[in-house]
């Protein structure tokens, strides 16, 4: 019985006692490429964090791959990989690409954290999957933003998750890497049955491959469903305001809101 990637019922989430997400009912299909959209502060990152037990569930329920959070959090963390916003990643020491790709696997071991042949094979296979194996021994920091993002996806894939949660993997990413990331997410779903939930301000690069979108505004779910059904001019104006300009391309509506980070 296939379970959902993320399933929420009457979900309130906060960091203190004040709810940041309120009354969210959601069932994201699995395996799928699903998108979470909404203005700054809408609660997109909070929804990903709640899925990993990193934000407080005040009421309601959330299940990830059918597994209740926070009840069976260890299982969730074993089966799900999180790709954080790039700005959240900073290391003092200069790391090679392969070192970054190995991190997620090493972190799960006790000291001394020495990679086995199996770890290296998994990291190299993941780098190959995102077309970054050519940069195996290069310095991570010297790569372009888009290349770094692909290495961070490889790091997540090296631990062989069933579901990826990605927070704005497309911002500050060159067009070539955007295209490659979209292709990687589609191939993960189609060839390996690995699903993705992607927070993004720009659905454009994912529109051809995405199955489902959830629109959040001010902590509430405004609409969710297949892109053509959920991305209506009415729903886009509900989340981005009445002045948002809406254009239709290939049966899907997009809001033009100037700077995505208004
Ligand atoms: N660690 C935290 N402690 C307290 N409040 C927080 C914390 N993180 C986020 N918030 C608040 O929760 C609300 C939702 O934040 P969240 O980061 O989920 O929004 P977002 O939709 O991801 O926005 P953005 O597009 O800017 O990334 C905001 O009002 C924010 O100020
Ligand atoms: Mg965010």
SS3 241: coil
Q: What is the pLDDT of residues 113-149, one digit of tens each?
A: 789 999 999 999 999 999 999 999 999 999 999 999 9
Ligand 2: distance of its center to the CA of 32 in Å? 21
For ligand 1, what atom is nearest to the CA of residue 216? 21
Query: Which uninterrupted H or E stretch holds 217?
Result: strand 212-217
Gap between the Cα atoms of 239 and 217, Å rounded:
5
Q: What is the pLDDT of residues 58-78, one digit of tens each?
A: 999 999 999 999 999 999 999
- Ligand of minimum distance to the alpha carbon of 37: 1
Ligand 2: distance of its center to the CA of 111 in Å? 33
Is the shortest distance between the CB of 19 and ligand 1 below 6 Å? no
Is the shortest distance between the CB of 262 and ligand 1 below 6 Å? no
Query: Is the CB of residue 24 less than 8 Å from the CB of residue 8?
Result: yes
Ligand 1: distance of its center to the CA of 63 in Å? 21
State how beta strands 80-83 and 163-167 pair: parallel
**What are the structural domains of the chain?**
6-256 (3.40.50.300)
Query: Which residues have C-beta under 5 Å from ligand 2, the single-atom ion?
Result: 45
Q: What is the pLDDT of residues 148-193, one digit of tens each?
A: 999 999 999 999 999 999 999 998 888 899 999 999 999 999 999 9
For ligand 1, what atom is nearest to the CA of residue 39? 25
Ligand 2: distance of its center to the CA of 43 in Å? 7
Is the shortest distance between the CB of 38 and ligand 1 below 6 Å? yes
Gap between the Cα atoms of 231 and 240, Å rounded:
12
Ligand 1: distance of its center to the CA of 190 in Å? 32
Considering only CA atoms, which residue is closest to atom 29 of ligand 1?
41
Residue 18, CA distances (Å) to 39, 71, 158 in order = 19, 22, 37
Give residues with Cβ within 8 angstroms of 167, minimum separation 6. Answer: 44, 45, 48, 82, 83, 84, 85, 199
Structure tokens at 118: 């199996």
pTM > 0.85: yes or no: yes
**DSSP letters of 154-210?**
HHHHTT--SEEEEESTTTT--HHHHHHHHHHHHHIIIII--EEEEE-S--GGGTTT-
């Amino acid at each position: 019985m296939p379970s959902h990637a993320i399933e929420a019922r009457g979900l309130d989430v906060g960091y203190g006692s004040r709810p940041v997400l309120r009354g969210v009912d959601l069932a994201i299909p699995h395996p799928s490429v699903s998108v979470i959209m909404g203005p700054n502060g809408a609660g997109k990152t909070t929804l990903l964090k709640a899925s990993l037990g990193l934000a407080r569930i005040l009421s309601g329920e959330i299940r990830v791959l059918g597994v209740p959070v926070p009840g069976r959090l260890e299982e969730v963390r074993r089966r799900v990989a999180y790709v954080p916003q790039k700005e959240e990643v900073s290391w003092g020491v200069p790391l090679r690409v392969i070192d970054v790709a190995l991190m997620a696997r090493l972190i799960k071991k006790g000291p001394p954290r020495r990679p086995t042949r199996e770890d290296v094979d998994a990291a190299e296979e993941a780098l190959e999957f995102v077309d970054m194996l050519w940069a195996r021994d290069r310095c991570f920091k010297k790569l372009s933003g888009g290349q770094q993002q692909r290495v961070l996806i490889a790091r997540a894939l090296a631990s062989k998750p069933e579901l990826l949660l990605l927070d704005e993997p497309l911002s500050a990413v060159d067009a070539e890497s955007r295209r490659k990331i979209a292709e990687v997410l589609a191939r993960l779903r189609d060839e390996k049955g690995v699903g993705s939930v992607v927070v993004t301000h720009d659905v454009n690069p994912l529109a051809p491959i995405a199955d489902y979108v959830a629109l959040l505004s001010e902590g509430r779910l405004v609409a969710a469903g297949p892109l053509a059904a959920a991305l209506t001019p009415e729903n886009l104006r509900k989340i981005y305001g009445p002045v948002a300009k809406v254009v239709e391309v290939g049966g899907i509506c997009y809001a033009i809101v100037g700077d995505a980070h208004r």
